[in-house]
Amino acid sequence: MDNFLEFERPIEELSAKIDELERVSQTQNIDLGNEISKLETRRQKVTQDIFSSLDPWQVTQLARHPMRPYTLDYVGLTFDGFQELHGDRMFADDRSIVAGIGKFDRWNVALIGHQKGRDTREKLRRNFGMPKPEGYRKAQRVMKLAEKFNLPIVTLIDTPGAYPGIDAEERGQSEAIARSLSVMTGLRVPVISAVIGEGGSGGALAIGICDRLIMMEYSTYSVISPEGCASILWKNADKAPEAAAAMKITSADLKRLGLVDEIVQEPLGGAHRNYERAAAHLNASLVRHLEEVSNMTTPELLGKRYERLQSFGEFQSAK
Amino acid sequence: MSWFERLIPPKIKVRSALNKRSVPEGLWHKCGACSAVLYGTELERTSQVCPKCGHHMRLSARERFRTLFDEAEFTELATSLQSTDPLRFKDSKRYKERLSDAQKESRESEAVICAHGRVAGSELVAVAFEFKYMGGSMGSVVGERFVRAVDHALQTQTPLVCFIASGGARMQESILSLMQMAKTTAALNKLHEAGLPYISVLTDPTMGGVSASIAMLGDVIIAEPKALVGFAGARVIEQTVRETLPEGFQRAEFLLEHGAIDMIVTRDQMCSVIAGLLKILAPSSGRSIEGELVF
């Protein structure tokens, strides 16, 4: 699980040294345990230093890390008997959105999440995690199914955005997203959403209207990608790091803005360094919030959700 | 330079150049479609529709209300709300500066105005986007004003019409702008539950987050001829798919063809079409709000 980012260079160098020493001690049968453990302590310290002061652009890169756990990784680690449900019953099965039902902790739940691919073939099959209208319509269908059978819904958000393509526009990308927002607002079952990687604009929000919003520590959520914002406002996509900072897109930023209920701590070095621990942390948080919301009556739940949605935004009344 | 101008002493030349500039701005307009040069007052009379080719140019929110409401009379709602620059956003310019520039440019206090009045004698609440105000982009104030218009419609049991002209969510308020999609949609759900009609009118342009929320949730969706309507912008799509876009892509006619909207209505017919639809859909037409049928 190497794949180090630019700012992780010092960690990468130390890891290479550790690997080298381990190789030497094995092949030449010399005990280098002391040296190795010293280097490991050093690596731990360096990693902590780097990760304690990440800038928003570095967080963005972590959120997009090619080894980052995706929806199905979390499902594999936290669900029992997950049954994927396919297709929107109208046009196609969009593989950039996974939907299904299964046992999560002590609840039967419905799960909906964006799904990216790991290798080139899988990336194409998952359309880089960018849903088309049929993806959102599948999500709506499964949400209505969950409502019918009184299953709480968990959604995992991880998309660069809704797919910007000719076919997606032809089939009504705007309508699909708008309808998803409308359906989710009215769902009579609890919805918990967690941003596990990239929360890319309307394509993310379309499965993100919820009673509780959780964000993984190194995830982002924004109205447009930093590159998109930079190319419009700075007229230069290279200004993406500046745009990432200006738009306040990290979990910490959103917590400060009062939009996020909980930030889930990631293992040292990011979720991709330890899937099990990342999943355990997410799991614990989801359970906590599910417990809280599943005690509410339906009118209470819908009332609170409406209040939550209406609280979004900041403005003043002129005298 | 003609031989005559060459004879004129320099001082006089300067003055003649000044005189040229002092022709009042906005007197003459060029049609974006047929390039015809048109007289400003004539365009006012036609609500910015080119009399030569029928091209629908952008209409300000205020002009829209003047043409919509009976006797051009309406009462504005939620006028006091102002943006606070919650993120202290700065790109090449400060957001605060952009806001004050937009106010000067559009002579409006934000990118939507809301009002109630009468249309063909019946009460109506209307929202209109002002494109000249930061591209009609939706931030916190736009979202809140829209919700207050919905609330007013609910209180007075009146239908709601929204005229959209927007590039999408406002980047300078980032995630807060994105959340306005959720906020406005939730309010529309209330209107829906109350059985009150909502008509969305998509004018040029209706894009991004505004398209993917309030625009596409109309009980009836109307578009103006040739209006650009879509989720992703043409440039982004071209960069993604690396092919040229088909002729007329994301125009109102394209959307009608693909089943995304109900109808295309020209500006001169807009009022009567809306009034006609509301005569049939509005609660006063025989369906009481208590749920009992009244004929």
DSSP of A183-204: HHHH-SS-EEEEEEEEEEHHHH
User: To the nearest 10°, the Cα dihedral for B40, B41, B45, B48?
Assistant: 10
- Averaged pLDDT for residues A157-167: 96
- Averaged pLDDT for residues B50-63: 95
The answer to whether residue B153 scores a pLDDT higher than 60 is yes
DSSP structural state of residue A273? G
Please tell me the distance in Å from A186's CA to the nearest CA on chain B.
8
Chain B contact for A317 (CB, 8 A cutoff): yes
Q: Cβ distance A139 to A112 under 8 Å?
A: yes
Report pLDDT for B224. 98
CB contact set of A188 (below 8 Å; sequence gap of 6+): A147, A298, A301, A302
Strand pairing partners for A214?
A194, A262
- Averaged pLDDT for residues B238-252: 90
**Chain A residues close to B243, C-beta within 8 Å:** 166
Is the backbone of residue B14 left (phi > 0), alpha (psi -120 to 50) or beta?
Answer: alpha
Chain A contact for B249 (CB, 8 A cutoff): yes
Dig out the tokens for B222 from the structure: 């109307």
Chain B contact for A238 (CB, 8 A cutoff): no
**Chain B residues close to A229, C-beta within 8 Å:** 171
pLDDT bin (cut points 50, 70, 90) of residue B74 is very high
| pLDDT tens figures, B114-141 | 999 999 999 999 999 999 999 999 999 9
**Chain B residues close to A169, C-beta within 8 Å:** 230-232, 237, 249-250
- Averaged pLDDT for residues A152-158: 98
**Chain A residues close to B100, C-beta within 8 Å:** none
Q: pTM to 2 decimals?
A: 0.93
* Residue-by-residue DSSP string for chain B: --HHHHHS-HHHHHHHHHHHHTSPTTSEEE-TTT--EEEHHHHHHTTSB-TTT--B----HHHHHHHHSGGG-EEEESTTEEE--TT--BSSSBHHHHHHHHHHHHSSSSSEEEEEEEETTEEEEEEEE-TTTGGG-B-HHHHHHHHHHHHHHHHHT--EEEEEEE-SB-GGGHHHHHHHHHHHHHHHHHHHHTT--EEEEEEEEE-HHHHTTGGGG-SEEEE-TT-BB-SS-HHHHHHHH-SPPPTTTTBHHHHHHTTS-SEE--HHHHHHHHHHHHHHHSGGGTB-TTS-B--
Which of residues B150 and A31 earns the better pLDDT score?
B150
Interface of B with A in 48-67 (CB under 8 A): none
Chain A contact for B137 (CB, 8 A cutoff): no
CA nearest B199: which of B224, B182, B186, B217?
Answer: B217
Inspect the interface and report whether the beta carbons of B174 and A249 lie closer than 8 Å.
yes
Report pLDDT for B92. 85
Return the residue in B81, B179, B180, B244 with the most chain A beta carbons within 10 A, the one to mutate for interface testing.
B179
Q: Of A147-161, A167-181, A253-267, B26-40, where does mean pLDDT reach its minimum?
A: B26-40
Return the residue in A60, A247, A255, A312 with the most chain B beta carbons within 10 A, the one to mutate for interface testing.
A312
| pLDDT tens figures, B252-276 | 999 999 999 999 999 999 999 999 9
The answer to whether residue B180 scores a pLDDT higher than 80 is yes
| pLDDT tens figures, A261-271 | 999 999 999 99
The answer to whether residue A305 scores a pLDDT higher than 50 is yes
Inspect the interface and report whether the beta carbons of A313 and B144 lie closer than 8 Å.
yes
**Chain B residues close to A171, C-beta within 8 Å:** 258
Report pLDDT for B31. 92
Q: Cβ distance B223 to B255 under 8 Å?
A: yes
Inspect the interface and report whether the beta carbons of B249 and A169 lie closer than 8 Å.
yes
Of B175, B217, B240, the CB nearest to A223: B175
At A261, give phi and psi (nearest 5°): -85, -35
Inspect the interface and report whether the beta carbons of A172 and B171 lie closer than 8 Å.
no
Chain B contact for A171 (CB, 8 A cutoff): yes
Inspect the interface and report whether the beta carbons of A173 and B180 lie closer than 8 Å.
no
The answer to whether residue B286 scores a pLDDT higher than 50 is no
Dig out the tokens for A138 from the structure: 């599948």
| pLDDT tens figures, A83-142 | 999 999 999 999 999 999 999 999 999 999 999 999 999 999 999 999 999 999 999 999
The answer to whether residue A213 scores a pLDDT higher than 50 is yes
Mean pLDDT value across chain A? 96
Residue type, B64: R
SS3 content of chain A, % helix, strand, coil (to 5): 55, 15, 30
Inspect the interface and report whether the beta carbons of A259 and B237 lie closer than 8 Å.
no
User: Cα(A171)–Cα(A161) distance, rounded to whole angstroms?
Assistant: 17
